[in-house]
Structure 1
Amino acid sequence: MHILTKIILWLFALVVVITAIPYGYVLLPTAPLDRAEQDTLGGLYLDTKQGRLSYTRDGDENAPAVILVHGFSTPKFVWNQVKPELVNAGFEVITFDHLGRGFSDRPKGPYDSNLYRQELLDVIEGLDLNTPVSMVGYSMGGANVIDFAAEYPEHVKQLVLIAPAGYMGNSGSLSTLAKPILGDYIATVFGKEYAIKSIREEVNSGAAPAEMLPLFEQQASYHGYTNALLSTLRHYPMGAMSERYQIVGRTNIPVHAIWGTADQVVPYCGLAEMAEDVPQLTSTTLDEGNHNITYARAREVTRALLDALAP
């Protein structure tokens, strides 16, 4: 690298850190999340070749199984308001933390399509689930289950997608974060604190349950969380997955989408594009619903889920 380029990058990093401090964005040390720490945290863990997955399994193991797949940054606790209702309705419900999030291991990556497909396969095989199985994906989780179904249609009974990624394009902010060095500094200094600030605002406004803030802060305090997010941005094509949706559209797998019209993270206009790629698509629209509908409007989402999930 040219010496002038090195100096510019070093100065940029220094300015970012100095600028961040007055606003409360500081580089805090992160704790390791090893097996001993996981054992202290408690819960269920599934050992896989990619790493140890933190998961929950509720309901009758002989009942129809539903796997709930969370999105880009917020782990499995995002389903806490939805899960009990599905169990009460007679389903076995499985949730898990993506690698790099929650209390799952934080491998180096890359966090690409292969990693996320293998996660789901590991859950199905590791928990000895009878297939085909129903899958519900929220945000990036929607793209995950579509990609999995395109690869392993024989394992999938039906799909329910909540504000699913796949038709977002590449926004300027994501492109900037995806760049090495520059993205590392921006995400490390601002990313985690911004996410915590956003959840705090939603909790204070009543749009999110109070438990979400300490749960998010706890899982984000472990080393490897930011790396997992950055690696996903760089290696997972969540903004352009029309081809994978089209493959699913050529199967007989039922697909239902639940989407809010005011979603600014994964715009509602993606529903029309998806309908062209997936002829069997049905949908439920939540007027004025934002991207946070899974917890901000959990009752409506749960009702739509129960209507969509075949017995």
Structure 2
Amino acid sequence: MIWSRRRRCDPPLTYRESPAGALVTRSSRGFTHYELHGDWGGVATHKKLVLIHGNVGSTLYIRNLAKSLASTHAVLTYDIYGRGFSSCDSTPHNKSLMVGQLAELLYCLNISGKINLVGYSLGGPIATHFASVYPTKLSSLTLLAPAFRPIPRHWKLLSQLPPARYLIGNIARYSLMNPADYAADWMGLDSTEEARREESRGLFKELYASEFDRFVNEPAFGSSFGNSLASMPWDDVWGPVAELGVGGRGKGINIAVIWGAGDNVVRKEEILEVLREKLGKGVLVEVVEKEGHSLPYERPKLCAELILKNVLEKRD
């Protein structure tokens, strides 16, 4: 049984209590918090956008991006399991869990027809696996700095141990609570261009305050980060990518890869060229100068323009 309600009162899983009025749905593996932006009344198929955030993120990270896209499209964002206000248990955070979460959410919300799917960082592998399983559900696939780089073997082995996962996750959490570490991937905070500098500083101040509260009060953050590190198929994406290439299961899907040239979190080297090779000539590649991993939340309007270029472009 799948159902929706406004606020949870008796979840059996680890979760953070959502604010009154928040949109939450229950599925087979727990609770999913989601947000709807734009006009969903009688929306046309090509107007539906779904955004998936990254490993340490939540809907907060991509809310301004969603709002920028919502002027022309209906946008759905959601917290992946164990982040934000979505629940978490000890189930491995593998591709089956993450793909199933999105599939059930779309079913629960009665979102039929095709969607335009956008995956950022860890959301990139999730979106890619979803597209591989449900290619007929997609009009377009946009990968923002997708985290396709394999995790070092010693980290993978270490993170199989629950105490190690907890420790690794909390090291990440306490690091992000430090403003300097949190700002490490922001490119415009010290820009010589006054308008850019003020825009970045304003967005940083707003987002950091909300995220700091998350890091302090979100009970599953550390364990979820470590769980995904241990369980996600970080080195099992090239098969699905190849399947989506020219002439493959992705035929008819507009595919784009967008990367900040200065991204030091998920470096494009050794990933972007393989993506080009496996996806073929039909893929749209945008490498944005003077931008980094923070592109979706530091430059939401620019990022929205790049996403819509892929969504709206007509290709053979």
TM-score > 0.5, shorter chain as reference: yes
Does the 8 Å contact 1:177/1:186 carry over to 2?
no
Does the 8 Å contact 2:170/2:222 carry over to 1?
no
Q: Greater share of helix residues, 1 or 2? A: 1
State the 1:282 CA deviation.
0.8
Distance 1:109 1:102 in 2: 17
- What is aligned with 2:272? 271
State the 1:209 CA deviation.
2.6
CA distances 1:64-88 after superposition (whole Å, capped 9, x unpaired): 2100110111101111221122111
Distance 1:177 1:255 in 2: 35
Q: Percent identity, please.
A: 21
Give the aligned residue type for 1:191. Answer: A
CA distances 1:147-166 after superposition (whole Å, capped 9, x unpaired): 00101111111101110122
Instruction: Give SS of 2:204's match.
Output: coil
- What is aligned with 1:217? 212
Distance 2:59 2:52 in 1: 7
Give the aligned residue type for 2:255. Answer: V
- What is aligned with 2:28? 49
Scaled by the length of structure 2, the TM-score of the pair is 0.80
Distance 1:117 1:135 in 2: 12
- What is aligned with 2:80? 98
The structure with the largest alpha-carbon Rg is 1
State the 1:283 CA deviation.
1.3
- What is aligned with 2:299? 297
State the 1:222 CA deviation.
2.5
- What is aligned with 1:195? 176
Match of 2:134 among 140, 152, 176: 152
- What is aligned with 1:180? 161
Instruction: Give SS of 2:146's match.
Output: coil
Scaled by the length of structure 1, the TM-score of the pair is 0.81
Distance 2:39 2:162 in 1: 48
CA distances 1:158-177 after superposition (whole Å, capped 9, x unpaired): 101110122x1233684475
State the 1:303 CA deviation.
1.4
- CA gap 1:181/1:144 in 2 versus in 1, 3 angstroms: closer
State the superposition RMSD in angstroms.
2.3
- CA gap 1:189/1:111 in 2 versus in 1, 3 angstroms: closer
Gapped runs of 5+ residues in structure 1? 1-31
Match of 2:59 among 71, 76, 98: 76
Instruction: Give SS of 1:263's match.
Output: coil
- May I ask how many residue pairs the two structures share in their alignment? 275
- What is aligned with 2:152? 171
Gapped runs of 5+ residues in structure 2? 1-13, 191-199
